[in-house]
Amino acid sequence: MAGLYHLARLNNRWFRLDEPLDVAYQLGLPVDGHYVSGCLTDFHLYIEGGRPAWQWFHELLGVLPPENQVQKFAVNCTWFQEIFGECPLGANEETVRRFALAYIMILLGTQLFADKSGNRIHIRWLPYVARLEEMGGYSWGSAALAWLYRCMCRVANRHVVKLAGPLQLLQSWIFWRFPTFRPTGYDAFSWPLASRWSGYNPGISNKGPRVQMARLQIDLLQPRDFVWMPYSALDVIQVVHPKVLEPRHTMLWRCVTSLIYFAVVEWHQVDRVLPQFGGVQAPPRPALNIDFLMSKDGRGGDRWFPAHLADWHHHWQERAEHILQFDIVADPGPSHDFLTWWH
């Protein structure tokens, strides 16, 4: 199933490639909050107070990109950087706000929700930056995770050659949980934890041999080579921002629910990876087949996705009712029943 491409197994223990707790620790993003959804371009039709797309763009940012810098409803990042690269000294409050809005759109479009080009900023973010004071109330962590899961599913297709999504999150997750893949010389870390590798740039030289070596290392992995709970160490706890550890966020790390990013819906099957949370793995419930959702990407005409995919959005709204309860043990692993089920 497409929804299981981001699950992996290591000696009868399942682990998941990135979890909401990883997004919280690695990037410092909130997990609890409103889903990141809505419509993509027809703001004046679906949003109270919305404007036609490019009219709203001009009102918020004070300028329109030239036609050769626009591809449908996405603007080249280079244009954003040229116009909003550096706020002028002595700028008034309105100018500072416009530069801030542009910076946030660049951050969202190239870091958290990048496409394969890595150089386009979609205008879907206009309703969010228009209500700048409310942006902290959204579940950016679950949305980024949904997009990463979808991109990992797509790249598993042999015809897809590029991986999109928040790749700094994926890279940092690998380095924190697989010490054998960790580059040397990056022992110091601060907050957020992904910043530990900010100077790491291996380049493209010797890419072929490096890939072969990495595949060999994966084949030789043992249970001791995977760090199940990397954030429990005292030196990590000391640098973590306390806000991400508020109960309303941490309880969702154990929640079986939908993860939403506009038309992208993924299922958080945390019941299959309890050892990552210190629990004993019981036989999991049957996997939810969401193959039919893989084709939902927003193309084919704009929609109001909370209504178009209402059941999945409702799952997120009711997330507090689907939090798993289990005991934390010193040596988490598979139960006898799990091993019987597996064999």
3-state secondary structure of 336: helix
Average pLDDT over residues 39-63: 96
Residue 18 lies in a domain: no
- The answer to whether residues 54 and 44 touch, using CB atoms and an 8 Å cutoff, is no
Q: How many of the other CB atoms lie within 10 Å of CB of 283? A: 14
Determine, yes or no, domain membership for 212. no
From 137, 166, 191, the end of a domain falls on: 137
| 3 confidence band (pLDDT: 50, 70, 90) | very low
- Decide: 257 and 241 in contact? Cβ < 8 Å: no
- For residue 317, being part of any structural domain is answered with yes
Overall number of domains in the chain: 2
Q: How far apart are CA 126 and CA 123, in angstroms?
A: 6
Identify which of 193, 167, 90, 150 has the alpha carbon closest to the alpha carbon of residue 298: 150
Give a yes or no: residue 262 inside a domain: yes
Distance, in Å, from the CA atom of 111 to the CA atom of 261, rounded to the nearest integer, reads 15
Residue 4 is predicted with a pLDDT of 40
* CB within 8 Å of 159: residues ≥ 6 apart: none
- Residues 117-128 pLDDT 10s: 888 999 999 999
Residue 235 covered by a domain: no
Looking at the predicted structure, is the pLDDT value of residue 188 above 90?
yes
Residue 274 included in any domain: yes
pLDDT of 157 reads 85
Q: What is the mean pLDDT of residues 22-51?
A: 96
Report yes or no on 320 lying in a domain.
Answer: yes
**Domain end (from 100, 122, 137):** 137
Q: How confident is the model at residue 342 (pLDDT cuts 50, 70, 90)?
A: confident
Last residue of a domain, one of 90, 113, 137: 137
Could you report the per-residue pLDDT of 285-336, keeping only the tens digit for each?
888 888 888 877 777 778 999 999 999 999 999 999 999 999 988 888 789 9
Domain that holds residue 308: 254-342
pLDDT at res. 24: 95
**Averaged over 26-39, what is the pLDDT?**
97
Condensed to tens digits (0 to 9), the pLDDT of residues 80-128 reads 999 999 999 999 999 999 999 999 999 999 999 999 888 899 999 999 9
Asked, for residue 281, whether it belongs to a domain, the answer is yes
CA distances from 147 to 58, 207, 297, 338 (A): 28, 26, 10, 30
Average pLDDT over residues 152-169: 89
